Structure 1
Amino acid sequence: MTRRPVLALAAAVLAATPVLAAEPPAQGGLIVLHCPHLLDPAAGRLLGDSTVVIRDGRIQAVRPGTGSEPGARVVELTGQTCLPGLIDAHTHLTSETSPTGYTDQFRWNTADYAIRSTVYARRTLLAGFTTVRNLGDNANESIALRNAIDAGVVAGPRIFTAGVPIGSTGGHADPTDGYRQDLAGDPGPEEGIINSPADAWKAVRQHYKDGVDLIKIMPSGGVLDESASADNPQMTTEEIKAVVAAAHDYGFTVAAHAHGAEAIRRAVLAGVDSIEHGTFMDEDDMKLMKEHGTWFVPTIVAGKYVEQMAAKPGYYPPQVARKAKEVGPIIQATAGRAYKAGVKIAFGTDASVYPHGQNAKEFEYMVQAGMPPMYAIQAATTHAAALLHKPDELGQIRPGRRADVVAVPGNPLEDITALQRVSFVMKDGLIYKQDGKPL
């Protein structure tokens, strides 16, 4: 059974939604931002009154005090703190949680998901997230969404997408879990389902052909699929090694969804670049991750949300609700232990598991887990940029970087929830939100 319709369909649908089009505001060219405070995550400090000069989508200069440039448009950000555009390293922009989600998949076409994705992308951008990693979709529709955003057809964050996830038959990546036999079929490498190292190479090469930016694997069980386990290993070490070898040959990083300790161990030893969720991570896993330089993307907000929804009768199928109640109470404490152990942490939320646009709640949960506010912000800026292999492009307000700038009222180092009230959003030198209002 295929879940890969022609990508041109999704692209055409995206192109046919002018109501969401990102009309390039009367901007561009030369812009000067006056920031009463400027947060520099690379230096780990909050600067005072600063002037940011932007020319043609790039940061040209950052100067102390208030200044201007001849012919520049000046934007006053009175009472606000400027910081680099935020990066969410774990999103799913082409779907969103719903009590009807498990039946919608039998009624909706790829075009339905594609159209809704334009709304979710815009919400994410207006929440201050100018870049995301999209770690899994149903039919590569996130590739079409990425292309439409890059072309200026719709408003949204810069997307690095993995397309469909790679996993094993019956595992968390298998889109036919829970289907009756005549509908389930036997998905293979073209759909991201592998059962051998040879299948792994085929799947990665198919992803390269499809035009992804990175690879996402599912070496453990998960919460929201209709199988029994959230944490059992679901890929062999040899299969994971094959995916990593193929991916690295093609210049891809590999993100590994892994809740269980054994799946985490296998993925780290096989050379993946990041562990996502990591709920049941143990001390040995943390030691291995430090030794191998493996990134950790906790997604606390997703765990909190599924735990909350599992208490609502009928929101999830019974087996999903059971797993949500197991994972939800643990994930935040694991993130706190990983931070104290010195594991590298990048910001990610698993957006779509909770409603899009609420990404910044993750900061609050990270701080509650014991991370300093500056570290939590670094996780969504310099750390996430390093995970993306884009430290010279993203995550800092420095000359030469992309002009991705957001602002919040007050001081987020004193009140981390200020990041849930983003008042100004600029991406690539274009302003999408000012004075708290979308443009």
Structure 2
Amino acid sequence: MWRSIGKIAVTSVAVVVLFAGWSNAQAPQSAPNALVIERGTLIDGTGAPPRPVQALVIVGNRIKEIVPPGGNAQIPPGASRIRAEGLTLVPGLIDSHVHSRGFDAELYLSHGVTSVLDVSNIEDWILVQREGVAKGKIFGPRLFIAGAAINAAGLFSWHVPVKDPESAMQATRRLAAKGVDMIKVHSGITPVQLQAITREAHRAGLNVIGHLGVTDAREAAEAGIDALAHTGGIALALAPKSLADKIKAMGTTEQNSLMLEMDFDVEEAKVDALAKLLVEKHVRIEPDLVLRAKGVSRQWPQFSFEIHELLKNPELGYIWPSARERWLFLTPVNDHSRGEDTDYLRLMSREEQAKRLAGAKRSFEFHASFLKKFVAAGGEIIAGTDAQHFGTPGLSYHQELQLLVEEAGMTPMQALVSATRNPARFIHKEKDLGTLEPGKLADLLLVRGNPAEDIKNIHNIEKVIQDGKIVETGYHRWYKNPIPRPSTETGGTNPVPIMTSLSPNMATEGDSEVTLTIKGSRFVPGCAVTFNGQAVPLVAGNQNQLTVKLQKTDLMTVGTFPVVVTNPTPEGGPSQPVYFMVKFR
């Protein structure tokens, strides 16, 4: 899919950003004072039409001037030059919704994502990462962070727990004092708590983005929220009151799967009124359409192929198996709110598959249609992907922009603005980032073709420039983050499974068939089950439970037989056995 980055002639000294933390890496070259990109077509990120340029001059890490055709560029002595005929200059992309795991830098920058908004993470670690990137010690996109999300007590261990408006205000003050770039609220926050958070965040000059659960989009807008993550809370705001009340009363554990079904009629007048309210309240939407598209959109077969092809690269061997599985298979159909991270669609019954896919398709189509109305009413989109959870870092951003054009009705230029200027404005960094203008930081891409004509041209990245320097793109199997993320997730290898029980734990000699439930933990996709050393078919499963079928041939002989679960390589291996008895008839 990727073209060689060596097609563009660069005169004088090439500028290369090398990876901090790489073993056996060469010393970085000294950066020249200036870089000049000659000719080409400019998309400046403001929404203005593309225009030809004579030169874009970078001095240090900022754009000094943009010279129109026929103009005279003031080129500093010793400047490096790039000839850009046939190329389009585009601002560096800014992904508005990621959760870094520390091994994603090469993926982001190779796909032209020069900045990311990390909207919830292990607080101390992500602060250290931001500092390391800013100092040039850690290779990666610019990091703008929320720290840890604010949530109801007891939901997620890495979130900041609150129980009332006062503790919500205190949590917001503490995060602001740490120097975060925005505030993130999560699914357990109530409207009253949200109002306290937004009031305190705005006093500190910070915007608030929310993954809504018990608060719907209308309530969030009235409480002062600045952005809705995942197009969250919109369906809940439009649901019949009885259903909405039932979902809110459940808290955050089941509401996603129920709302997924979208099996209720929505009045167009109510949809229009909600879109109008969000625009009037200046609420942005971060859609994550690429999340909702998994398994159900017409683009998904191609997207899935692209992810498979990317992950086949042996230089990406450092990507955790658990991450690979999420990017390829975890979808809204696999309801992770119910502990089904590894209960993939292929393990479900046909009836369950059909029900969940139909609900997911309705949800995708509804949210795409809502975005059309929202944008037509003047609403602002900040494009994001939920990368590292549902999304593949970098690649999913290109796919998200394609969906915004093909399904949400945005023009290619509107999609590009949602990926550049709008995220920069959301974090109040528009004076430095988001558009290509004199005085701004020199983060930009050189793209073959014009993405304002065909958004899929954003795939054709020839060069990435970050902070005024040409970035070495591509992948290296020995890449590692110098300060890895503390995590219970297995880095690079599968765990050894643990079995705790069998149900039933015995059968009678000659029984025709037994459905056997295996309980335990650390079961991963691709695991296998053996009965007395022979493989038995897996019917369904998730990370804590597997279901297999024992056939009549397995039950012909009395005795005590070992049942073993084996996880695949890398690492993995067999569990300790749990025994099943066959008694006399």
* TM-score in same-fold range (> 0.5): yes
Are 2:392 and 1:408 aligned?
no
Distance in 2 between residues matched to 1:357 and 1:59, nearest whole Å: 25
- After TM superposition, the structure 1 = structure 2 runs for residues 219-230 of structure 1, keeping only pairs within 5 Å, are 220=187
Q: Are residues 20 and 374 of structure 1, via their aligned partners in 2, closer, same or farther at CA, if it must alter by over 3 Å?
A: farther
Q: Aligned residue for 2:464?
A: 425
Compute the TM-score of the two structures, normalised by the length of structure 1: 0.76
1:356 maps to a residue whose letter is P
1:120 maps to a residue whose letter is D
- After TM superposition, the structure 1 = structure 2 runs for residues 227-238 of structure 1, keeping only pairs within 5 Å, are 234-238=188-192
Distance in 2 between residues matched to 1:21 and 1:302, nearest whole Å: 36
Are 2:236 and 1:283 aligned?
no
Are 2:64 and 1:57 aligned?
no
Are 2:393 and 1:356 aligned?
yes
The structure with more helix, counted as a fraction of residues: 1
CA offset at residue 76 of structure 1?
1.8
CA offset at residue 350 of structure 1?
1.5
- After TM superposition, the structure 1 = structure 2 runs for residues 117-156 of structure 1, keeping only pairs within 5 Å, are 117=102, 119-156=103-140
**Superimposed CA distance per residue, residues 342-392 of structure 1 (whole angstroms, 9 cap, x where no aligned partner):** 211122221122221212211100101210011111111222222121222
Larger RCO: Structure 1 or Structure 2 (Cα < 8 Å, ≥ 6 residues apart)? 1
Distance in 2 between residues matched to 1:147 and 1:427, nearest whole Å: 17
Distance in 2 between residues matched to 1:315 and 1:81, nearest whole Å: 40
Distance in 1 between residues matched to 2:193 and 2:334, nearest whole Å: 38
Identity of matched residues, %: 28
Distance in 2 between residues matched to 1:203 and 1:21, nearest whole Å: 41
2:210 is paired with a residue whose SS is strand
Contact 2:284 2:381 in 1 (8 A): yes
Distance in 2 between residues matched to 1:332 and 1:125, nearest whole Å: 28
Greater Rg over alpha carbons, structure:
2
How many pairs are equivalent? 369
1:360 is paired with a residue whose SS is helix
Q: Aligned residue for 2:167?
A: 199
Are 2:201 and 1:247 aligned?
yes
Q: Aligned residue for 1:11?
A: none
Are 2:108 and 1:71 aligned?
no
1:351 is paired with a residue whose SS is coil
CA offset at residue 269 of structure 1?
0.9
1:290 maps to a residue whose letter is V
Are 2:292 and 1:300 aligned?
no
RMSD: 3.1
1:143 maps to a residue whose letter is L
Tell me which of 382, 386, 393 is aligned to 2:425: 386
1:331 maps to a residue whose letter is H
Contact 2:32 2:79 in 1 (8 A): no
Contact 1:161 1:214 in 2 (8 A): yes
1:340 maps to a residue whose letter is A
Distance in 1 between residues matched to 2:368 and 2:26, nearest whole Å: 36
CA offset at residue 279 of structure 1?
4.8
2:293 is paired with a residue whose SS is helix
Q: Aligned residue for 2:315?
A: none
Distance in 2 between residues matched to 1:246 and 1:51, nearest whole Å: 45
Q: Aligned residue for 2:373?
A: 337
Q: Are residues 424 and 433 of structure 1, via their aligned partners in 2, closer, same or farther at CA, if it must alter by over 3 Å?
A: farther
Distance in 1 between residues matched to 2:120 and 2:26, nearest whole Å: 24
CA offset at residue 46 of structure 1?
0.7
Tell me which of 257, 260, 268 is aligned to 2:211: 257
Are 2:156 and 1:175 aligned?
yes
Contact 2:32 2:80 in 1 (8 A): no
Q: Are residues 428 and 370 of structure 1, via their aligned partners in 2, closer, same or farther at CA, if it must alter by over 3 Å?
A: same
Distance in 1 between residues matched to 2:398 and 2:150, nearest whole Å: 28
Distance in 2 between residues matched to 1:16 and 1:146, nearest whole Å: 14
Contact 1:303 1:329 in 2 (8 A): no
CA offset at residue 208 of structure 1?
3.1
> Which sections of structure 1, spanning at least 5 residues, go unmatched?
1-14, 95-116, 177-186, 221-233
Q: Are residues 405 and 257 of structure 1, via their aligned partners in 2, closer, same or farther at CA, if it must alter by over 3 Å?
A: same
CA offset at residue 65 of structure 1?
3.3
Contact 1:25 1:430 in 2 (8 A): no
CA offset at residue 283 of structure 1?
3.2
Distance in 2 between residues matched to 1:403 and 1:318, nearest whole Å: 43
Q: Are residues 49 and 248 of structure 1, via their aligned partners in 2, closer, same or farther at CA, if it must alter by over 3 Å?
A: closer
Distance in 1 between residues matched to 2:123 and 2:428, nearest whole Å: 26
2:403 is paired with a residue whose SS is helix
Contact 1:21 1:155 in 2 (8 A): no
Q: Are residues 137 and 21 of structure 1, via their aligned partners in 2, closer, same or farther at CA, if it must alter by over 3 Å?
A: farther
Q: Aligned residue for 2:45?
A: 41
Contact 1:244 1:270 in 2 (8 A): yes
2:405 maps to a residue whose letter is V
Contact 2:334 2:344 in 1 (8 A): no
Are 2:328 and 1:375 aligned?
no
**Superimposed CA distance per residue, residues 303-339 of structure 1 (whole angstroms, 9 cap, x where no aligned partner):** 2237673468976448999889545454333322322
Are 2:70 and 1:86 aligned?
no
Distance in 2 between residues matched to 1:163 and 1:80, nearest whole Å: 38
Q: Are residues 213 and 315 of structure 1, via their aligned partners in 2, closer, same or farther at CA, if it must alter by over 3 Å?
A: closer
Distance in 2 between residues matched to 1:50 and 1:265, nearest whole Å: 48
Distance in 1 between residues matched to 2:470 and 2:26, nearest whole Å: 10
Distance in 1 between residues matched to 2:217 and 2:471, nearest whole Å: 39
CA offset at residue 299 of structure 1?
1.4
CA offset at residue 192 of structure 1?
0.9
**Superimposed CA distance per residue, residues 265-301 of structure 1 (whole angstroms, 9 cap, x where no aligned partner):** 1211111111112256243332221111121111111
Q: Which moved more, 1:276-285 or 1:262-271?
A: 276-285
Distance in 2 between residues matched to 1:20 and 1:317, nearest whole Å: 40
**Superimposed CA distance per residue, residues 167-198 of structure 1 (whole angstroms, 9 cap, x where no aligned partner):** 1146xxx225xxxxxxxxxx8xxx41212001
2:117 is paired with a residue whose SS is strand
